Amino acid sequence: MHSILADCRGQVNRRDPAVGSLRILRARPLPGPVEETAMRIQPITDRDTLDAAGKQAWDAIAERRGGRAGGPFSVLLHSPAAAERVGRVGDHVRFDTAFDPAERELAIITTAREFDVEVEWAGHCQLALQAGVPEATIEVVANRGDVSALTPREAEIVTFIRELVGPKRRVSEMTFKSLQSRLGDRTMVDLAVLVGYYAMLGCALNTFEMPSGPDARPLPPIAR
């Protein structure tokens, strides 16, 4: 036991049989506590700090979000024109498509999982549960589990997104045709746009290290 502790925490004298002398091995230090990462730019949380263009963007974003322009938009508002345009796409994919709410939220959390976006994952897991996505389904998505544990409709959506953002960046013909026969062309377009939209938000959230809340549901680490 003493030698194990010494190997981990200090220095160990060992005899090198090749040279018949003692040599000193320095062990790697034990890892310290992980420090929380601060955001790389200051989020904009007060409308009154914005100029006229910023206020216009804030109002456009907040109009369909309960009067708020938080989350990723608190970062995107550093570029008001970009924030406003991104918000319009978000309005469409969240509020104006033919998706069943549970399927929409399943698509969002699958995209968040595939891009490892902690904030997006935490926020939409709650919305997914509220929309009727089963806890067991969320666990499959979180751990990149086998889709055979899902309903056929759930499996189609998860497989579509995994294929689209996977190494080949392509959706197989079988997956596409199966979804297309059920959703139709318009909703297939909306699904592709939804994945792109939340991937884009993920790029902003991960670039600027936006933290999730202390009680947020974490993304489990997975091998890539």
Following DSSP, what letter does each residue of 23-54 receive, concatenated? EEEEPPPPP-PPPPPPPSS-----GGGS-HHH
Q: Which two tokens stand for residue 173?
A: 């013909």
Q: Which two tokens stand for residue 152?
A: 């056929």
Give 24's strand partners.
13
Neighbouring CB atoms inside 10 A of 110's CB total 29
Q: What is the phi-psi region of residue 28: left when phi exceeds 0, alpha when psi lies from -120 to 50, beta otherwise?
A: beta
Q: Which two tokens stand for residue 22?
A: 């003692």
d(CA 113, CA 108): 9
In this prediction, residue 1 carries a pLDDT of 43
Alpha carbon distances (Å) from 98 to 131, 159, 182:
15, 20, 12
Q: What is the phi-psi region of residue 121: left when phi exceeds 0, alpha when psi lies from -120 to 50, beta otherwise?
A: alpha
Query: Looking up tokens 């009727």, which residue turns up?
Result: 132
- Whether the CB-CB separation of 134 and 154 falls below 8 Å is answered with no
pLDDT along the chain (224 residues), means of 10: 39 41 36 53 94 97 92 96 97 94 98 96 96 98 97 98 96 98 97 98 93 81 78
> CATH number of the domain at 97-206+216-220, out of 1.20.1290.10, 3.40.50.800, 2.60.120.1060, 3.50.50.60?
1.20.1290.10
pTM of the model: 0.80
Q: 23 — phi, psi (to 5°)?
A: -130, 155
Domain boundaries, the chain: 41-92, 97-206+216-220
Give 13's strand partners.
24
- Whether the CB-CB separation of 83 and 76 falls below 8 Å is answered with yes
pLDDT tens-place string over residues 156-200: 999 999 999 999 999 999 999 999 999 999 999 999 999 999 999
Q: Is the Cα dihedral 6, 10, 12, 13 positive or negative?
A: negative
Q: What is the rounded radius of gyration, in angstroms, for the C-alpha atoms of the chain? A: 24
From the number of C-beta atoms within 10 Å of its C-beta (0-12, 13-18, 19+), residue 144 rates as middle
In this prediction, residue 196 carries a pLDDT of 98
In this prediction, residue 37 carries a pLDDT of 55
In this prediction, residue 211 carries a pLDDT of 84
In this prediction, residue 27 carries a pLDDT of 35
